[in-house]
Structure 1
Amino acid sequence: MGHLRLAQPLFLLCLALLPLLGWARSRRKPSAWLLPFAGRWKPPRGVGSGKIAAFCAYGGLALVILALARPVEEKGLLRIPQEGYDILLVLDLSGSMLAEDYERGGRAVSRFEAVQGVVKSFLDKRVADRIGLVAFSGRAYTVSPLTFDHRWLDRQIDRLEVGMIEDGTAIGDAVGLALARLTGREAKEEKRKGKFLILLTDGGNNCGALSPEEAIALSRQKRIPIFTIGAGRLGEGGAPVFDDDGQKVGNEMSSSDLDEDLLRRMADQTGGHYFRALDEGTIRDAFAAIDAEKKVSFPDRPGLVTEELYPYFLTPALLLWGLGLFFSRRRLPA
């Protein structure tokens, strides 16, 4: 079953009127304006059929109100499987990504905090693409394989934290893992427009089994371009210091070890581009440039596939009203 939601939830407020309606009926003689046969739902005291008729009438009204609220099942995005790109995002989670040398709304934010929001905005624009995610620092891990479920991927990005992987910057391993995900069995299920990889890091390769040069050669062999983004400012910047309980207790100065020459080589030798992200705005510009270059035009915009569920409430409502009419004309022994 897909995601369920109410298209008109304000109609549920009408449910609160049902007890008031019952109280009003108990205070005075039923009137015909309530429902055409409402006057028969309160037979002489001790007659059981009246209680059944009233139950059917109020139950039917409750179901009609639920139908008016328009329950909808979201079955997923309507997509065009023969077009679109396969994209692997490769995000650096090393400790240096906590350096607060970016600014948002007059306050300092970390490199990772700035990257998170821009990446999620990028996902929203690529509705026809399958996107996967590899996170790395001292090791590289697959956070998400290629998927059309960008909502789920968005939630995985929210769960990422700097420090969740042992520290270091294994760029070669991360790129190698991303290339494997782009060319593995699950990536060959359907024809795609193309494949590419986006690497965002603020450091230089200092660990891992696969060297960056080997990763470049592998990418060229598979003809997969790498777009690289160098985050953070050159020189020294402030990085937060945390105590044993994870509480921030101050800042310390740390120097950037961004290897721009490596990132340029990776991009130039594989057919991608290198972008320098000095602040949150230039990170956004980098993703916008990649989005513009690797974009597919569609004759029809993909939309959300939904199913209206109100008939499942209206049908039993009509049945209950029919039973109510039947019992309103009968008298059971007291």
Structure 2
Amino acid sequence: MVALVVFANPSFFFLLLLLPLVWFFRRYRKEEPFFLPFASQWVGTERKGPINKLPVVCCYLAFVLFIIALARPQEEKGKIPIRKEGYDIVLVLDISGSMLAEDYEIDQKMVSRLDVVLDVVKAFLDKRVNDRIGLVAFAGRAYTVCPLTFDHQWIKRKIDQLQAGAIEDGTAIGDALSLALSRLEGKKESEARHKIGSFLILLTDGANNCGNLLPLEAAQLAARSSIPVFAIGAGLSGEVTMPVLDEERRKIGSQTVISEVDEELLRKIAQLTGGEYFRATDSNAILSAFQAIDAKKKIPFEPIVVTKKEELFPIFLVLGLFFWFLAFLISKRI
């Protein structure tokens, strides 16, 4: 298939009209045209023979190549879909020590809540290619893992580094929501992209027990900013199996602890902000919750199709410089 070449700035081809003027000045003027290189070679001369015309021919050719470069030739490489609209989403994930509880089952094997959550989150990222997504993690305090970004692969790499119990333990839901809101409000809109909206996804397996801001106070801030919070209560309530880790975070045993999810609080947060609450007592429920959020906040229009192009002007620029330099070399030898 023959490649299609287009020009981004075709108006520069009008400069080709200067060539007849250059020819006129060379032929009918006896004084050296100072605006041309190697002026003595461009003035009419009594020397005859093809070799004496080579510098002039090379300069003409260089001039044409420079004009083509200015016109920016581009080779079309095909069509690619681009969506400029999307959501801003911040994931607010609980990484307290209780997220190590092994009360989820996959392929007849008990796994921790955090392992299941992180796998589902990464699958969610793959579906939201048009959205800017950020990540806030929290336990006894909250911190930003990733600011809003389109680089979902980078977020996945940061997710793989998350460890439950890696920071001071506790469940600071209010502080985490407040930090997530600041991540959304602090990101200014780009002129090249229209934002459909913003929302938070809060996933926790506990009840708020620390922090500077109460969860419902943070929820009121979100409501005033029209940012819905989709809350997911993860894990079983009651007795659950918790691994015992050594100083190097290797499992050396297990113990039974009591787990408590404050469903009433999470439901109030969702209702107050216009979001929705999901109870996820197993791995399938976690997946279903994220699928429901994905379906509810899906972008309903087709992508914009643009043509991918490769710039070819460097080729013509280099060729023009080559013939320009060649004209100089030849003029010095004849």
**2:83 and 2:304 in contact (8 A); partners too:** no
SS at match of 1:199: strand
Q: Which residue of 1 aligns with 2:133?
A: 131
C-alpha separation in 2, matches of 1:135 and 1:170:
10
RMSD: 2.4
Q: Which residue of 1 aligns with 2:284?
A: 281
* 107 and 228 in structure 1: CA distance in 2 versus 1, 3 angstrom threshold: same
C-alpha separation in 1, matches of 2:306 and 2:89:
21
**2:81 and 2:303 in contact (8 A); partners too:** no
**2:88 and 2:131 in contact (8 A); partners too:** yes
* 100 and 299 in structure 1: CA distance in 2 versus 1, 3 angstrom threshold: same
Instruction: Give the TM-score normalised by the residue count of structure 1.
Output: 0.66
C-alpha separation in 2, matches of 1:157 and 1:306:
35
Q: Which residue of 2 aligns with 1:36?
A: none
Q: Which residue of 2 aligns with 1:249?
A: 252
Question: In the TM superposition, what is the alpha-carbon distance from 1:247 to its structure 2 partner?
Answer: 2.0
SS at match of 2:267: helix
Q: Which amino acid aligns with 2:96?
A: S
Q: Which residue of 1 aligns with 2:147?
A: 145
* 302 and 228 in structure 1: CA distance in 2 versus 1, 3 angstrom threshold: farther
Q: Which amino acid aligns with 1:181?
A: R
1:202 aligns with 2:193: no
SS at match of 1:267: helix
What are the equivalent positions in structure 2 for 1:1-334 lying under 5 Å apart? 79-81=82-84, 83-184=85-186, 186-190=187-191, 191-300=194-303
Question: In the TM superposition, what is the alpha-carbon distance from 1:306 to its structure 2 partner?
Answer: 9.3
**1:181 and 1:187 in contact (8 A); partners too:** no
When the two structures are aligned, how many residues end up with a matched partner? 234
Question: In the TM superposition, what is the alpha-carbon distance from 1:78 to its structure 2 partner?
Answer: 6.2
Q: Which amino acid aligns with 1:116?
A: L
Q: Output one character per residue of 1:151-202: Cα deviation in whole Å (capped at 9) or x when no partner.
A: 1111111111112221100000000000111111x24335300000000000
Question: In the TM superposition, what is the alpha-carbon distance from 1:244 to its structure 2 partner?
Answer: 2.4
* 130 and 167 in structure 1: CA distance in 2 versus 1, 3 angstrom threshold: same
Q: Which amino acid aligns with 1:230?
A: G
Question: In the TM superposition, what is the alpha-carbon distance from 1:140 to its structure 2 partner?
Answer: 0.3
SS at match of 2:115: helix
Q: Which residue of 1 aligns with 2:65?
A: none
Q: Which residue of 1 aligns with 2:18?
A: none
Q: Which amino acid aligns with 2:219?
A: I
SS at match of 1:205: coil
Question: In the TM superposition, what is the alpha-carbon distance from 1:304 to its structure 2 partner?
Answer: 12
* 149 and 254 in structure 1: CA distance in 2 versus 1, 3 angstrom threshold: same
**1:145 and 1:181 in contact (8 A); partners too:** yes
Question: In the TM superposition, what is the alpha-carbon distance from 1:300 to its structure 2 partner?
Answer: 2.8
Q: Output one character per residue of 1:228-286: Cα deviation in whole Å (capped at 9) or x when no partner.
A: 00000111100000122322111111111210000000001110000000111000000
C-alpha separation in 1, matches of 2:105 and 2:270:
27
Question: In the TM superposition, what is the alpha-carbon distance from 1:302 to its structure 2 partner?
Answer: 7.8
**1:127 and 1:302 in contact (8 A); partners too:** no
Instruction: Give the TM-score normalised by the residue count of structure 2.
Output: 0.66
SS at match of 2:93: strand
Q: Which residue of 2 aligns with 1:321?
A: none
SS at match of 2:170: coil
Question: In the TM superposition, what is the alpha-carbon distance from 1:219 to its structure 2 partner?
Answer: 0.8
* 209 and 301 in structure 1: CA distance in 2 versus 1, 3 angstrom threshold: same
Question: In the TM superposition, what is the alpha-carbon distance from 1:217 to its structure 2 partner?
Answer: 1.1
Q: Which one has the largest radius of gyration? A: 2
Q: Output one character per residue of 1:99-156: Cα deviation in whole Å (capped at 9) or x when no partner.
A: 0000111110000000011000000000100000000000100001110111111111
**2:82 and 2:303 in contact (8 A); partners too:** no
**1:99 and 1:239 in contact (8 A); partners too:** yes
Which 10-residue stretch deviates more, 190-199 or 120-129?
A: 190-199
